[in-house]
Amino acid sequence: MAMELSNKMSRGIIERIKEISGQDPHLCMQCGTCSAGCTGREVMELLPRQVMRLIQLGDARVLHCRSIWVCSTCLLCTARCPRGIDLARLMEALRVINLRSGREVLVAEKIPVELLTRVPQMALTSGMRKLSA
């Protein structure tokens, strides 16, 4: 019974990610090319290949990993993927699912005023678009 419920949850997560991203995570063969080229891999808790594996498994833990927020959407993984998977879109889909469920990573009211005066306006705008609902 628990396994059946787990499989339903897994399919639900995978279907939501497919619907939002337009990508099929099951095309990934886990070659690791995305992780090898990732510019943010040194600060990610899970490498892009590992995030993709959790997506393939329908593991809801992927929604709570910091790596999806660290992804800069530079598209290097997408350009190098031998299967043509747009991993950046999958990462964005994970962020969207979080934001739609009310999980904000960046709350404007909590940004220190001194930071607002030092950070370029474009960086603030980009951060707000990516990290808030």
Q: What are the residue ranges spanned by the domains of the chain?
A: 1-101, 105-132
Q: Please give the structure tokens belonging to residue 49.
A: 């290949």
d(CA 94, CA 55) in angstroms, rounded, equals 9
- Is 22:78 a contact under the CB 8 Å cutoff? no
Q: Specify the pLDDT at position 77.
A: 94
Query: Topology of 1-101 in CATH?
Result: Fumarate Reductase Iron-sulfur Protein; Chain B, domain 2 (1.10.1060)
Q: Specify the pLDDT at position 116.
A: 80
Q: Specify the pLDDT at position 1.
A: 45
Q: Specify the pLDDT at position 22.
A: 97
Place of tokens 């090898």: 36
Block means of pLDDT (10 residues each) for the chain, 133 residues, are 48 92 96 94 95 95 91 93 96 92 78 82 75 66
d(CA 96, CA 91) in angstroms, rounded, equals 9
Q: Specify the pLDDT at position 7.
A: 52
pTM above 0.85?
no
